[in-house]
């Protein structure tokens, strides 16, 4: 009967070998788990399992990113989660603060509370895209291949938008329209929400202070 | 005493109205041509080439006024939005135009045109809401009168209120009016604004039938024949100096005439109110804050310094008052550039006589009869729920307005066949029979009081008098 230690250096004992194989299998399993985890947690189904996200999904379902003529549907994670298992995991890890807020923060399930806090969420999301040079947009959209209905669309993208990243111009595409942070006016936003939900003037401010 | 005071006030008013209409912008040109605005056209030439093409052919482009010079906004502005890295406003309001065109901004600021929305709100809520509804108002009334543009909290302009270039538009920056109501964007051509179509775009149809009136007047006839001699593109456009082929709306209502300079307060030279059940001559009250309003001569003449109500409901001190006579004199100054004094005076006499005839024969009695019907509870207070209210409305608003505008601007057909003849047909053939039908015996009493005893209508009593207007004479009746 041949002994394993005939083929291996002395420090690889049986226990070490066992640990290596076990660890390797576990590691591969973990990576596979992460891939599957990232994949699943990037779906609309998962995201909207929090009721507050259902409110963000409503306008999304009416957008062209949900219903493009081509049928190529962008899922939540396609835009909001980076590519690559490490980056995706990191994004999900950071995103867990949303879960924390859902559980311990304001009552985001309430459409009014949700709408009142939405602008800040949008500003953060826009910064996220900008910081990544609109990387998730570019997974599908290639600047050099943007042939719009107008003959000049490609030219505009190649010349005038040469040094720009997608999100700088293309915001307010999918979710509820929110002004740019520079021109955002909290009192006007509050007034609009109050009108929309038939609330007394000043209610929004009180709700935000709570 | 009053007339002496008015005379002096009038002199002052004449002096004040001595602005130059097509005032050259005298500001230092370093005030425009913003560096950050130079690149807008590069993208817009591709994305909206028609728009930039218009701009390239404009005086603005020649003077290096670029997109951002007009569209720039500050972050705090009510209608500011972020656009390709710049903070801009979609709507360029008169206040924005007034950054360079100060004189015109000042003139239009108190004009009757900028009151167009409040006029609608105060006088026509029922038409706007009950006849129309919001969508009807947005595509109809508001397109000429103007909308109250609403900038929503999400940074979008409320589609119920924008796009809109109505002359009295209430802008997100608080200013009133819309320069592009007459000066079509983005070329803002002088020639285009001098065309009658700049006005008749709205001043047409039953409410303000001036397109048809002008086209069937001698003035309109000459304009159609000699349009190529109108020198419309000329930098300066003074009648008698730069053109004489025909007057357009601008010539008489706002143009330069002799020493009287042109003015963007278009209603200033109108002595009468021609769009009311009974026409009344109107004072023009000028407030110390620059705002203006009209006031019927049937009301007490306010004194200088007196505080009275403005049309928006707030109060202000009276700076001066222009009498209808003075306003008429201003109008006649433009006539005199082409016509003699006697010709002008007599033409105005014919116009005044016509309006007074309309007033006395139809306007006043019809109004008195309606008042009697309401007073006797023969009509509900709600307007337009009874047929006679529609008849009365058509009588003064559609037919009566057409008649009076026709007489004002020399269209015989509009004054008579489309005007007073229509009024008469309605009055005798529809309105009075409806009074009888509605009020029975009381109706006969009301008609007797207001109509049969009036010298204008006493012919109704002579029932046995035969004329051949319908082809029947007394003799032909006897033969049968």
ipTM of the complex: 0.84
The total number of structural domains that make up chain B = 2
A134-187 pLDDT per residue, tens: 999 999 999 999 988 877 899 999 999 999 999 999 999 999 999 999 999 999
Per-residue pLDDT at B4: 59
In a domain, B442, yes or no: yes
Among A160, A169, A191, whose Cβ lies nearest the Cβ of B153?
A191
In a domain, A84, yes or no: yes
What are the beta bridge partners of residue B280? B273
Higher-pLDDT residue of A112, B470? A112
The total number of structural domains that make up chain A = 1
Confidence of residue A195 (pLDDT cuts 50, 70, 90): very high
Residue B20 in this model has a pLDDT that exceeds 60:
no
In a domain, B89, yes or no: yes
Mean pLDDT of chain B: 92
In a domain, B212, yes or no: no
Segments forming the whole domain that contains residue A74: 14-209
For the residues B34-54, what does the mean pLDDT come to?
93
In a domain, A161, yes or no: yes
In a domain, A90, yes or no: yes
Chain B residues within 8 A of A147 when measuring between CB atoms: none
Per-residue pLDDT at B7: 53
Tokens of B112: 């009757």
B177-224 pLDDT per residue, tens: 999 999 999 999 999 999 999 999 999 999 999 999 999 999 999 999
Among A169, A182, A192, whose Cβ lies nearest the Cβ of B153?
A192
A168 in contact with B, Cβ within 8 Å: yes
Among B46, B84, B153, whose Cβ lies nearest the Cβ of A189?
B153
Nearest Cα of chain B lies from the Cα of A30 at a distance, in angstroms, of 44
Choose the weakest-confidence range: A26-40, B391-405, B464-478: B464-478
In a domain, B407, yes or no: yes
Segments forming the whole domain that contains residue B427: 341-461
A152 in contact with B, Cβ within 8 Å: yes
In a domain, B255, yes or no: no
A78-111 pLDDT per residue, tens: 999 999 999 999 999 999 999 999 999 999 999 9
> Any idea what the Cα angle at residue B255 is, between residues B249 and B261, rounded to 5°?
160
Per-residue pLDDT at B25: 75
Confidence of residue B15 (pLDDT cuts 50, 70, 90): very low
In a domain, A112, yes or no: yes
In a domain, B30, yes or no: yes
In a domain, B332, yes or no: no
In a domain, B257, yes or no: no
């Amino acid at each position: 009967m041949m002994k394993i230690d005939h083929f291996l250096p002395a420090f690889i004992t049986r226990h070490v070998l066992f640990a290596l194989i076990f660890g390797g299998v576990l590691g591969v399993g973990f990576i596979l788990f992460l891939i599957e985890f990232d994949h699943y947690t990037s779906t609309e189904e998962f995201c909207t399992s929090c009721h507050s996200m259902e409110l963000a999904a409503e306008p999304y379902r009416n957008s062209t990113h949900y219903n493009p003529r081509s049928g190529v549907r962008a899922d939540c994670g396609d835009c909001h989660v980076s590519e690559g298992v490490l980056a995706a995991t990191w994004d999900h890890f950071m995103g867990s603060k949303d879960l924390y807020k859902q559980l311990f923060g304001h009552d985001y399930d309430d459409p009014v509370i949700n709408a009142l806090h939405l602008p800040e969420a949008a500003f953060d999301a826009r910064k996220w895209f900008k910081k990544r040079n609109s990387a998730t947009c570019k997974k599908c959209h290639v600047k050099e291949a943007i042939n719009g209905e107008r003959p000049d669309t490609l030219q505009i993208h190649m010349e005038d938008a040469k040094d720009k990243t997608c999100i700088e111009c293309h915001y307010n595409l999918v979710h509820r329209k929110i002004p740019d942070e520079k021109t955002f006016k909290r009192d006007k936003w509050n007034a609009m929400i109050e009108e929309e939900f038939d609330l007394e003037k000043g209610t929004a401010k009180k709700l935000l202070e709570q | 005493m009053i007339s002496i005071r008015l005379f002096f006030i009038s002199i002052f008013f004449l002096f004040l109205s001595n602005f130059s209409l097509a005032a050259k912008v005298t500001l230092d040109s370093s005030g425009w041509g913003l560096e950050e605005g130079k690149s807008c056209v590069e993208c817009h030439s591709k994305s909206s080439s028609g728009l930039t093409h218009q701009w390239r052919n404009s005086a603005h482009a020649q003077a290096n006024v670029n997109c951002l010079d007009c569209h720039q906004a500050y972050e705090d502005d009510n209608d500011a939005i972020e656009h390709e890295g710049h903070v801009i406003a979609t709507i360029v309001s008169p206040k924005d135009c007034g950054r360079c065109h100060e004189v015109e901004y000042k003139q239009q600021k108190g004009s009757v045109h900028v009151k167009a929305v409040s006029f609608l709100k105060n006088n026509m809520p029922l038409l706007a809401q009950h006849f129309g509804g919001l969508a009807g108002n947005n595509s109809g009334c508001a397109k000429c009168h103007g909308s109250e543009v609403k900038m929503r909290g999400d940074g979008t302009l409320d589609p119920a209120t924008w796009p809109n270039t109505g002359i009295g538009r209430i802008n997100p920056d608080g200013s009133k009016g819309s320069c592009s109501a007459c000066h079509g964007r983005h070329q803002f051509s002088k020639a285009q604004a001098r065309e009658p179509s700049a006005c008749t775009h709205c001043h047409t149809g039953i409410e303000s039938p001036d397109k048809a009136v002008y086209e069937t007047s001698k003035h309109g006839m000459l304009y159609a024949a000699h349009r190529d001699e109108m020198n419309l593109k000329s930098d300066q456009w003074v009648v008698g100096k730069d053109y004489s082929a025909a007057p357009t709306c601008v010539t008489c209502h706002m143009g330069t005439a002799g020493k009287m300079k042109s003015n963007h307060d278009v209603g200033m030279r109108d002595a009468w109110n021609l769009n009311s059940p009974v026409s009344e001559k109107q004072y023009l009250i000028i407030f110390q804050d620059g705002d203006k309003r009209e006031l019927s001569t049937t009301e007490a003449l306010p004194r200088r310094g007196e505080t009275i109500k403005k049309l928006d409901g707030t109060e202000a001190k009276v700076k001066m008052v222009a009498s209808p006579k003075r306003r008429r004199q201003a109008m006649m100054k433009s006539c005199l550039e082409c016509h003699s004094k006697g010709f002008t005076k007599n033409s105005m006499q014919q116009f005044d006589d016509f309006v007074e005839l309309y007033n006395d024969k139809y306007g006043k009695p019809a109004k008195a009869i309606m008042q009697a019907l309401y007073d006797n509870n023969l009509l509900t207070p709600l307007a337009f729920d009874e047929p006679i209210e529609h008849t009365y409305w058509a009588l003064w608003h559609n037919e009566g307005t057409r008649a009076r505008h026709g007489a004002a601007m020399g269209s015989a057909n509009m004054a008579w066949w489309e005007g007073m003849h229509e009024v008469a047909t309605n009055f005798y053939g529809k309105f009075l029979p409806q009074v009888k039908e509605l009020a029975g015996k009381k109706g006969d009493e009301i008609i007797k009081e207001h109509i049969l005893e009036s010298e204008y209508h006493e012919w109704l009593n002579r029932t046995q008098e035969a004329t051949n207007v319908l082809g029947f004479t007394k003799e032909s009746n006897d033969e049968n």
